[in-house]
Amino acid sequence: MLRDAVRALAEAKIAPYAAAVDEEARFPQEALDALTANDLHAVHVPEEYGGAGADALATVIVIEEVARVCASSSLIPAVNKLGSLPVILSGSEALKKKYMTPLAKGDGMFSYCLSEPDAGSDAAGMKTRAVRDGDAYVLNGVKRWITNAGESEFYTVMAVTDPTKRSKGISAFVVEKSDEGVSFGAPEKKLGIKGSPTREVYLDNVRIPADRMIGEEGTGFATAMKTLDHTRITIAAQALGIAQGALDYAKGYVQERKQFGKPIADFQGVQFMLADMAMKIEAARQLTYAAAAKSERGDADLTFQGAAAKCFASDVAMEVTTDAVQLLGGYGYTRDYPVERMMRDAKITQIYEGTNQVQRIVMARNLP
């Protein structure tokens, strides 16, 4: 029922704008409005804060179905979870009430600020500082590659509170867009997901109350890593949706396109490509859904399974979208058809929330 409802909404209210959102590199406001109106913009927020209280699998299905028609729009529910999960996992009850309630209502999105210009895969090498000053902290630094930056009202920011302790000297904070000293860089000009703004976040003597720290001082990096164990699965879901959208489109096309007097779907070479695409998507789906169930239960092997789902599903998405472009021939290479956009959008799923090389390191260190 959930899948049918989200698919119907996505096809009616999000798909019609997907090409224009990509072409104009603009935020998919129509998608945000439709998702918020149907309480699908942040389904993971627990019911006690006014949220839908969706479990990890339901969240995955929402993201998958939105990504099937528009990858940029799927980053609304995905990044709302990424940005707010540190608060849910480690925040005080007062902090949860303060920030989960407006998120659930649709009064503001949540972004996640971990990466920096010189700290990508090596996130523990960050330089953003948070210095205690009475009952406040003062933050200074630059965060890079921040999804939905400038659009979101709330930001989970990782900053160094004790430079002598490397990862154990990092703390997490909630910063608001309206805080004095917060500003944003120009949107990055990207290969794909052009409808989701990616910008730098500048923190210039941003003074915030000490009670906006998420968890204890020095626990920010651990919270960040724990968050990614859960949210990598949402990227797997996004990749899965992109791949499914590409297969669905290619399948329809090959049945209509005639060459040598018959539909190209009748040729064995084409059939084998479609069979491989469908088989790999199904394998990715099973891995992703199983990881979502583990996320919900908090299983001991979640770190391995989350990394495996993200890595496998994103590799599949890149392969399937590339094959979809091939199946459409010259038409696939034009912007008149959606598969070239899907191919461009798929690429980022192999890079963000930990590159697939990093995922393999994570898996190797957490072999079941």
What CA–CA distance (Å, rounded) separates 264 from 249? Answer: 14
Q: What is the Cα–Cα distance from 93 to 121, expressed in whole angstroms?
A: 31
Strand 170-176 relative to strand 129-133: parallel, antiparallel, unpaired? unpaired
Strand partners, 156: 112, 174
Cα separation values, 312 from 41, 117, 215, Å: 26, 27, 32
DSSP assignment of 288-311 equals HHHHHHHHHHT-TTHHHHHHHHHH
Choosing from 65, 116, 151, 353, the catalytic residue is: 353
Q: Which long-range contacts (CB under 8 A, 24 or more apart) does 254-260 make?
A: 254/327
Give residue 248's identity as a one-letter amino acid code. D
How many CB atoms are closer than 10 A to CB 364? 10
- Is 353 a residue of the active site? yes
Catalytic residue positions?
Answer: 353
